[in-house]
Amino acid sequence: MARSRASYEYTEAEDKSMRLGFLLIAAGLLSLLGLGCCWLRPALQERGGGGSANCTVLAVRQLGERFACTFSCGAACRGTARYPCLQVLVRTSRSSAPALLHEDERQLRTNPKCSYIPPCARDDQENSENVTYKQKYWKEKVGSQPFTCYFNQHLRPDDVMLKRTHDETVLLHCFLWPVVTFLVGVLIVVLTICAKSLAVRAEAIKKKKHL
């Protein structure tokens, strides 16, 4: 009886496989829970009530107000610079009311008053030149040509985005990899248990033959 019980004990390698499997299961569940609460849920809320439309530029202007940005010039070197506020007003195919264009949701949250935030340079003049270049782009290169924009009537009815931060591919990967991690962990545990069970049965059959 003692020998029969001992045969069901896992070897060191099998024990490591079981621990790895349970670790992957826990990591997959925690990742899915964390991403769901901290990232996936807000992303779905942003997408809820949203859609795409055709936008046409109505006006491009710089406001007199300047905003602060933080630049980095090394590991321990940071500072504050300023940039002018560029506003691009558009009309969408869904509404005749003008809307303020933004690069994406992240830029909208960072500065809801402006349409563009330049890469923060140490020199204010360089920041101004970057904003002026973007202003010319919208005036001269885009002009009255229609382009695709995105909106959310529930959260931001007066704003539209040039691109989405949370597209279908990102949302898919956000859900896919924690599930894959969880399934790999389950597979390792199941295979380890099955392999041990087969080994025990083979050992029992071998003993019966020798009797």
136-175: pLDDT as tens digits:
999 988 888 899 888 776 667 788 988 876 555 566 667 7
206 versus 122: the higher-pLDDT residue is 122
Q: How crowded is residue 167: how many other Cβ atoms within 10 Å of its Cβ?
A: 12
pTM of the complete model: 0.58
Question: Is residue 177 predicted with pLDDT exceeding 90?
Answer: no
Q: How far is CA 122 from the centre of its chain?
A: 29
Could you tell me which residues come within 8 angstroms of residue 151 by beta carbon, excluding any fewer than 6 positions away?
A: 50, 51, 52, 53, 92, 94, 99, 157, 159, 160, 161
Mean pLDDT of 76-102: 88
* Structural domain boundaries in the chain: 50-165, 167-205
Confidence of residue 8 (pLDDT cuts 50, 70, 90): low
Residue 105 has a pLDDT of: 82
Confidence of residue 5 (pLDDT cuts 50, 70, 90): very low
User: Helix, strand or coil for residue 75?
Assistant: coil
**101 vs 163: CA distance, rounded Å:** 10
Cβ pair 182, 32 in contact under 8 A = yes
**80 vs 70: CA distance, rounded Å:** 5
145 versus 43: the higher-pLDDT residue is 145
